[in-house]
Structure 1
Amino acid sequence: MHGTREGDTMKLLPRTPEPSRIFLAAAVACAVACAEKPPADHVRVSGQVEATDVHVAAQVGGRLIELRVAEGDRIRAGDVVARLDEADAQLAMARARADREQAEAQLRLLLAGARVEDIRQAEAQLATTESDVRAAEVELAAAEADVDRFEALLASNSGSRRQRDDAVTRRDVAKARAQGAGDRVRAARETVARLRAGSRREEIDAARARVAAAAAQIATWDKAIADATVTAPIAGIVADKLADVGELLQPRAAILLLTDLDHVWANVYVVEPVVPRLRLGQPATLFTDAGGPGLAGTVSYISSRAEFTPRNVQTAEDRSRLVYRVKVSVNNAAGTLKVGMPVEAEIPFADGAR
């Protein structure tokens, strides 16, 4: 019974002619071979568009009083995009200028030296103190003579002890007065010498340092006033507005995001066997999903390190491969490409590269 059923089953199965099976196998093998064989003269890879983003900010803090651009505006490098309140900086500038003028006046005074009238006055005071010295010396000499006379009288019992003591007291007072007059003479002479010599070098150097410090303060506030006017560092499109008029901003706080769409590039990823056949500066063409002839570009960067394909590129199988990043730069003055746009790059192999 089992043998009969098996024989019946064999009869029911269709038989493929031997030549047909051979042709089918050959066709499948050929199709597989054709599908796996890449083009011999170029490579076509996918990636996305990127561009230079610049956060435009003021170097100083303050209240934003004017914003001259809106999202989507195209601006040129050097265009004024915003202004901050500079009233506090202007007040500080006025104070710094007053300090500099005071320091400069003090320096001029030191460089000019003493006035002739001051020197004459000092010389007159010196002459007066010298006269006081001479008078004190005469008084001292008289007092000493009195002491000697009363000592002699006392010795001969012709005078009193009290007279002698009074004479000694007058002598001591005259001596102290003469000594004080001599000290005033020395001080007066030093004053005259100082006025005639003028200011010391250290005093002049200190005055010049104060002038320099005031000038530095002026330069600092001058820069702060200039920095309150914010200009665009590059030409591009205003991609995002990050602050509104009236906000109080910290120093270096971003006001807007500027994107340079005129010079964009695409980061594409190629497998290792293709890398030796690429060269910097060689032509490449970018294609968007909209079709068309594509945009001409050049290979501006070839990575020297392998990496896994980014997750936003192709399939999970492709993301598991080790690839090399290649940068294709394009002149996008027409604005065709946008940041984040998926593209495909067709890169012909360099001449002579194998």
Structure 2
Amino acid sequence: MTGAKKPILAVAIVVAIAAVAAYFYYRYSQKPQNVVLSGTLEARTVNVGSLVGGRVTKTLIDEGMHVAAGQLLVTLETETIDRQLSEQRASIAAAQAALAKAIAGPRPEEISKAMAISINDEVERRRQEYLYRYGIVAKELAEEAATKAKASAEDLRILQKGTRKEDIDAARAEVEAQQRKLETLMKQREETSVVSTVNGVIQSFGLRVGDIVAPNQTVAEILESSQLWVRVYVPETELGLIAVGQPVRVHIDTYPNETFAGHIASVSSQGEYTPRNVQTRAQRAEQVFGVKVLVDPNPKLKAGMAASVDLGVKGRAD
């Protein structure tokens, strides 16, 4: 080897060593970044209505209005149900009176009256039988008198014996049955007042006074604002870094300088290849798992806002 070629070879070796060193320095000096995934704030839609239906008498809401759980939204007519309630209370009173009478048993004056009726009917039976025997009256009249005397004698026997336990039990059961009917009517009466079951925002409402609402018809759709979440998709390679209950940080595009707290509520048990918020072909070919992140309640947040979720873990190095 000539003396001129030795310096060139030495330089080439030095350059090669420097290039390899630079590669490995860059490869291992790059720290993995936090896993940050994008999504949209979502909320549960709740449909409220009435089990009984009826004509609308009052509306107290409109679309976009904030409502609280238990707040009255719509009232329905109560004329028919109020009349049924009145009649049912009267039925209960009658059943209770019958039960009290059965428990007390027959009064002495009732027994005396029944005895007098029985004696009179027996006298009449004998008279009609005598007249029939001599051909003065028809056979039917004698038989009718005999039937009447037998019935009044049985009535007297029952009164003298007193009320049977079975009769008292039947009267008590009737009272309970009538009370159950009243409870059912009272629940139906409550259904004429449609209330919100959640804190939220009225998303859909179009009823007016006079409209007819069918049983189980949706009266209003409410977007539950007290519990928002973000659905993100975690690559399979990062799945082992997260767990249910793990705290996360949520960033909202509308509030770029603020951070909102949340936690991982659930992780899908089955992977998928085509989540809704993945755009590129390469990403669609990657196995991912859906993760639901609950965001702590905050009046600033609304469903539909773009969000980024910082899972608080470092992505695996390449």
Asked if Structure 1 and Structure 2 have the same fold, meaning a TM-score greater than 0.5 normalized by the shorter chain, the answer is yes
* Bigger helix fraction: 1
The structure 1 residue matched to 2:224, chosen from 255, 260, 273, is 260
Aligned CA distance change for structure 1 residues 314 and 193 (closer, same or farther; 3 Å): same
Counterpart contact for 2:253–2:305, Cα < 8 Å: no
Deviation for aligned residue 1:50: 1.0
1:244 match: secondary structure: coil
The answer to whether 1:240 aligns with 2:204 is: yes
Aligned CA distance change for structure 1 residues 132 and 216 (closer, same or farther; 3 Å): closer
Partner of 1:120 in structure 2? 112
Deviation for aligned residue 1:263: 2.2
Deviations 1:38-86 (A, max 9, x none): 9635211122211122112122211122121122222221111111111
- State how far apart, in whole Å, the 2-side matches of 1:225 and 1:66 are: 15
Partner of 2:307 in structure 1? 343
2:216 match: secondary structure: coil
- State how far apart, in whole Å, the 1-side matches of 2:87 and 2:77 are: 18
TM-score (norm. length: structure 2): 0.75
The structure 1 residue matched to 2:189, chosen from 207, 225, 233, is 225
Partner of 2:101 in structure 1? 109
Deviation for aligned residue 1:133: 11
Partner of 1:154 in structure 2? none
Task: Judge which range, 200-209 or 211-220, deviates more.
Answer: 200-209
The structure 2 residue matched to 1:195, chosen from 142, 156, 159, is 159
Partner of 1:292 in structure 2? 257
The structure 2 residue matched to 1:301, chosen from 257, 266, 270, is 266
Counterpart contact for 2:233–2:291, Cα < 8 Å: yes
- State how far apart, in whole Å, the 2-side matches of 1:187 and 1:261 are: 74
Counterpart contact for 2:50–2:192, Cα < 8 Å: yes
The answer to whether 1:215 aligns with 2:207 is: no
Deviations 1:279-303 (A, max 9, x none): 2222222223343243222222222
Deviation for aligned residue 1:191: 4.2
Aligned CA distance change for structure 1 residues 126 and 90 (closer, same or farther; 3 Å): closer
Task: Judge which range, 124-133 or 308-317, deviates more.
Answer: 124-133
Residue type of the alignment partner of 1:51: A
The answer to whether 1:48 aligns with 2:12 is: no
Residue type of the alignment partner of 2:211: E
- State how far apart, in whole Å, the 1-side matches of 2:208 and 2:147 are: 75
TM-score (norm. length: structure 1): 0.68
2:311 match: secondary structure: strand
Counterpart contact for 1:283–1:297, Cα < 8 Å: yes
The answer to whether 1:319 aligns with 2:311 is: no
Point out where structure 2 has 5 or more consecutive residues left out of the alignment. 1-11, 135-144
Counterpart contact for 1:309–1:320, Cα < 8 Å: yes
Mapping of residues 20-59 of structure 1, within 5 Å: 40=32, 42-59=34-51
Identity %: 30
Higher Cα Rg, which structure: 1
Counterpart contact for 1:263–1:333, Cα < 8 Å: no
Aligned length: 289
- State how far apart, in whole Å, the 2-side matches of 1:133 and 1:44 are: 104
Aligned CA distance change for structure 1 residues 127 and 231 (closer, same or farther; 3 Å): closer
Deviation for aligned residue 1:267: 0.5
Partner of 2:138 in structure 1? none
Cα RMSD of the aligned pairs, angstroms, is 3.9
